[in-house]
Structure 1
Amino acid sequence: MSRPSLVARIRQRQAEGLMPVISEIKVRSPKEGDLLRGRSPSDLARTYLTRPIAGISVVTEPTQFGGSVETIRQVAALGDVPILRKDFLRDRAAMEETAEAGASTVLLTVSIIGLDHLAEVHAHAKACGLETLVETHQPEELDSVLALGLEPDILGINNRDILIGETDDGDVRRTEGIVAGVPPGWLVLSESAIAGAEDARRAREAGADAVLVGTAILRAPDPGEKIDELVGVGWSR
């Protein structure tokens, strides 16, 4: 199955002078509760697709976040957009399921998979034709990724702690504190706790190549206008 590249779309948005934004579809969260507010995932995706986003993140974890793999299929049917699957994925079978559903990129969280299995799962994701987003939250996790010799397509820095359901009050300082250790040339994504243009600007200036924004877009009175605000930060480096 041919899927659009999230990496290429991020670079395209940069070339267009736009801040690359991955907008998220998330049914609910432990911290914020219901985030759809009567809207369907497909309706949200249609709104997102009217803006120059870099991609759409779909949270498929069912217990804490109310997600479903079926949402990936629904979004993929709407247009030529890179889709990132976010979930607590740990094994080879999940990589195959992700590719079959139509995602372009898969989230591999260091603290969820563990160092003993990360390289194996990463290799299988690549064998399935997926781009990889390897997510860190601590500087030590980045050190471990480097020690394993992994070269993910995208290196993610989660500004919140996924191990406690992202219920902490993280902020962009997490990105600012970790990004300096990322090797030159790596693509860096700042995830979570991006409330608006100022946070996106700080992430860019720290060294992030793109931002992933969920709650701020989902809770905005007009999600499309919120995306406009974020991409309007622009791109320069």
Structure 2
Amino acid sequence: MKIIFFDTETTGLNPATCQIIELAMITVVDGEIVGDYDKFIRTNEKLPQKITQITGITDEMLDERGISEEKIAEDLKNRLTPGTLMVAHNCQFDLSFVYYLLRRHYPDEADEIVMNLDWLDTLTVVKDRMEYPHRLNNAVEHYELEKVNFHRAIDDTRALYEVYKKLKYDPLYSPDEIDLYINLFGYNPKYPISGIRLRPKITYKPQRFHNFPDKNKRLSFEYILPNQK
């Protein structure tokens, strides 16, 4: 099985109008890391000061080390082969940015590319298993993993991979149980789903924050009617 763990740093929150400035991926095949990928992406506009403060990424870094978005799109098209499982924390966000990037350069193929993949949101899993808060750094702390430089895509991706292994092999759960979350995204019912809604590939279900998660009321075990997809 091919799994790609990925993360993005972006110029803002709207995937339709903002851009990815750093994309990181770790590719795992049959449980072994076979490659990693970390690229800065040049933009046509100055970075918002807030983004630089959060990520530490500067305009100079993008100018000197960044590559074109067109090249990133080509790399994604070559790597995102049908049947690949894509894993991210708050996957709806990163999926949306990847989709819009692909659509800008491969408008006739973007939908097919993303629909032929499977998607796993570790945030959805964490919400079912951990008390609030549920950020990636909270999961790292919960599982007593080594802390990284959060808000940098490659570091977040490395942490994501370690969190995924802890979620999969948590002694309180069956290793196969994490597969129940594939193509199942939880969302906060107080807010609308942002970005692209990848239906019918992905099922979106309301998922509230839990101070004390109930093992018998996990999102993955709710019966999903066809008309709710």
TM-score (norm 2): 0.29
Q: Which of these two proteins has the greater Rg computed from alpha carbons? A: 2
Higher relative contact order (CA 8 A, sep 6+): 1
TM-score (norm 1): 0.28
